[in-house]
Structure 1
């Protein structure tokens, strides 16, 4: 499969890549794998995530793009840049499956913000510790009150006020 995402991502020809986790959309048309644990995981409460996910918050595990490799479905990806309101792959952007509509990830300039619920951990109770959220972001715009001991940031982690 041609790596249309360019050199930031691993390719199927990369013999050094060893898959650690696999993920797919609801219908299975889009599949990818990662070769490392996430560098961080967070829960975002920003209004953009709320509206685009139809949920009160978004849980994401963050990977370097070089640790991500698509195994199927590149032709099914749909992109949306919410800042410019453009259905194009203008980074940063949202990534969805064009067949079933599943949100796949948020693609940043250097990072891939994957949604842990798409990974196959065998059972939801088997989510690895590295995928557990370390904080809440944009907590001031939350619509529900999570009861946990995680740090709650007004904006981005370590770049905003800790609430």
Structure 2
């Protein structure tokens, strides 16, 4: 049975622009990474070797939507992403509008297995490094994940556990909110 909540590429204009536009591999350029959802019905490739930035987000929305204490997201330009299959099998959720209509910003997931694929903003995509195909030993996989290494924690005041990793921790958005220590106490800023 078809999912009545699923939006199809055939009826939506977003399919003609990045990151959903499917590119000819020669037009897209050299592929640095490949990724897919849990079931494999949605897959994409990345042409940028390193994320523009990466963060751990502890906001309540990420906790609920990911079913985890925090979300790990790597930031890429929309043009760095090209779907190889499954762009017609995506589901959208706009948390700000509480709607499944395609509205930015939007959460994007596989309509079949419901794996989170990305958060699409107005200018960039927040991708989830857990979806990246990695090969090699466990040590090689950890080394490769260095391309997506987080630089900070955001919305740390909403954390469900303390993280002692030496990264800066911001009460809200990074660089515009208060810095916190590992236990969530405000640090004196200069």
TM bucket, shorter chain: over 0.9
- Equivalenced residues, count: 163
The CA deviation at 1:17 is 1.9
Q: For residues 89 and 7 of structure 1, what CA distance do their matches in structure 2 show? A: 13
The CA deviation at 1:128 is 3.3
Q: For residues 106 and 14 of structure 2, what CA distance do their matches in structure 1 show? A: 16
Query: Paired residue for 2:134, among 121, 136, 141?
Result: 121
After superposition, the C-alpha distances for 1:45-66 in whole angstroms (9 at most, x for unaligned) are: 0000000111000000100001
After superposition, the C-alpha distances for 1:8-60 in whole angstroms (9 at most, x for unaligned) are: 33642252521100110000000001100210010000000000111000000
What's the C-alpha RMSD, in Å, of the aligned pairs? 1.9
Secondary structure, counterpart of 1:128 in structure 2 = helix
Distance 1:6 1:161, change over 3 A: farther
- Structure 2, unmatched stretches of 5+, are 1-8, 181-190
TM-score when scaled to structure 2? 0.80
Aligned to 2:18: 8
Question: Considering only CA atoms, is the larger Rg found in Structure 1 or Structure 2?
Answer: 2
- Structure 1, unmatched stretches of 5+, are none
Between 1 and 2, higher relative CO (CA 8 Å, sep ≥ 6) is seen in 1
Higher helix share: 2
Q: For residues 23 and 49 of structure 1, what CA distance do their matches in structure 2 show? A: 21
**Structure 1 stretch 120-129 or stretch 86-95: which is displaced more?**
120-129
TM-score when scaled to structure 1? 0.92
| Preserved contact between residue 47 and residue 81 of structure 2 (Cα < 8 Å) | yes
